[in-house]
Amino acid sequence: MLDELKHNPTVNPHRKKKELLVRFDKNPIISPIQNNNWESKYTFNAGAILSGGKIHILYRAMGDDDTSVLGYARSFDGFNIEERLDRAVYTPREQFEMKTHPGFSGCEDPRLTLIDKTIYMCYTAYDGVNPPRIALTTISEDDFLNHRWHWSRPKLISAPGMDNKDSCIVAEKFNNKYLVFHRLPPCIWVDLVSDLEFDDNHYLGGHPLMGPRVNSWDNLKIGLNGPPEKTEDGWLLIYHGVSKEDMKYRMGAALLDLNNPLKILAWLHNPILEPITWYENEGYREGTVFSCGQVIKDGTLYVYYGGADKYLAVASCPLKDILESLKKGK
């Protein structure tokens, strides 16, 4: 198998069944635009939110100077893009995300949560020198929907000197506390916090919830995709995992208890999406499917994901199908 793996980059030694997610046949839905300097090279990892009956997408974009900024797009049906703005809607503002020398920097991988008509966005802030950290900013739902980009001043919510990413806030409180996901390698971490102010050098802590599994496709490291989705069976968690065998990014799913999301009810053995298409293998990082957001609309789960760190694509399935698979332990 290892010899085959060297000659066939799409081989997964752990693959056993058909993927649950089905790709949109017109993927990618967003590609770089050469005439827009801020998104001329890469348009990928996106957060998504459902509001006003439409799906709103914030995607990471990069131009020739390798600065990560965020672009906006909107879809009515979950697949086709009906609006895409020609300018970035979120750009680096603070020193901790400003470029200090040539190379990657900026505002990466947004994850969106709507709480009481306010949108909370967690993202990775990177200055190109220090370890990446988690930043938090907010915007009113009304301003967001009307394209008034009055974001609050971002603040760092993860400790200095530690590589921390893949963070989001869950939309509901538990025991009167907010549940925040983040990632300290190689695990998905959770922390319960009393408020979302993060004043006086208060940073995320907590404990690991899920980690790499031995002899599995996610045996190197894992991280959260978008914020968990509330369903009648529990909180649906979509995540990414990396294999030691081929270093590819795949997606998996787990189900958390509705009243106590620190309890894992089910965890699928097999990936729900693997990098097998051209747009998942031809880009900055071949062999990558990486999501920062999914939406449930009219009984369908839509997962928005970056392919090969260059394109934005979408895959979907009936919500009941993935929940049934989780309950059956498949």
The domains located in the chain, with CATH, are 2-328 (2.115.10.20)
> Is the pLDDT confidence value at 66 over 90?
yes
* Residues 6+ away with beta carbon under 8 Å from 323: 231, 233, 236, 255
* DSSP at 292: E
String of DSSP letters for 210-279: E---TTSTT-SEEEE-SPPEEETTEEEEEEEEE-TTT--EEEEEEEE-SS-TTSEEEE-SS-SB---SGG
| Confidence at residue 330, expressed as pLDDT on a 0 to 100 scale | 59
Mean pLDDT across the chain, nearest whole number?
95
| Confidence at residue 201, expressed as pLDDT on a 0 to 100 scale | 83
Mean pLDDT of 55-61: 99
CA distance 209 to 242: 17
pLDDT tens sequence across 177-215? 999 999 999 999 999 999 999 988 899 999 999 999 999
Mean pLDDT of 64-74: 98
C-alpha distances in Å from residue 147, one per residue of 51, 67, 89, 144, 253 = 13, 22, 8, 5, 33
Mean pLDDT of 47-62: 98
| Confidence at residue 200, expressed as pLDDT on a 0 to 100 scale | 81
pLDDT tens sequence across 116-160? 999 999 999 999 999 999 999 999 999 999 999 999 999 999 999
Give 176: exposed, middle or buried? Use CB within 10 Å, 0-12, 13-18, 19+. Answer: exposed
Mean pLDDT of 106-111: 99
| Confidence at residue 98, expressed as pLDDT on a 0 to 100 scale | 97
> Is the pLDDT confidence value at 307 over 70?
yes
Q: How confident is the model at residue 96 (pLDDT cuts 50, 70, 90)?
A: very high
